[in-house]
């Protein structure tokens, strides 16, 4: 995993799987890896929707990268 090697990483997790994201992060020993919540579903939702999602989370992504781990 990149985060384990010190490479800045952010998990993108849809709201439907947010609680599972907590479990997975803890189970792999990386509970503090930053995560950004995405609306669900994202996959297969089309280019226009993906652009809206990306635009909507960019501030959260930047903030997560700046958070100390």
Q: Count the domains in the chain.
A: 1
Burial class of 33 by CB neighbour count within 10 A (0 to 12, 13 to 18, 19+): buried
Confidence check: pLDDT of 67 > 80: no
- Model pTM above 0.85: no
Measure Cα distances from 53 to 22, 31, 42, 60 in Å: 22, 25, 8, 11
pLDDT in tens, 8-60: 889 999 999 999 999 999 999 999 899 999 999 988 889 999 999 999 999 99
Q: Which residues pair with 37 in a beta bridge?
A: 13
> By residue range, what is the domain housing residue 26?
3-66
The number of C-alpha atoms within 13 Å of 3 and in the hemisphere containing its C-beta is: 15
């Amino acid at each position: 995993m990149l985060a384990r090697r010190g490479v800045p990483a952010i998990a993108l997790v849809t709201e439907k799987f947010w609680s599972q994201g907590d479990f997975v992060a803890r189970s792999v020993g990386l509970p503090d890896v930053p995560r950004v919540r995405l609306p669900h579903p994202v996959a297969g939702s089309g280019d226009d929707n993906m652009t809206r999602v990306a635009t909507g989370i960019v501030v959260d992504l930047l903030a997560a990268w700046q958070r100390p781990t």
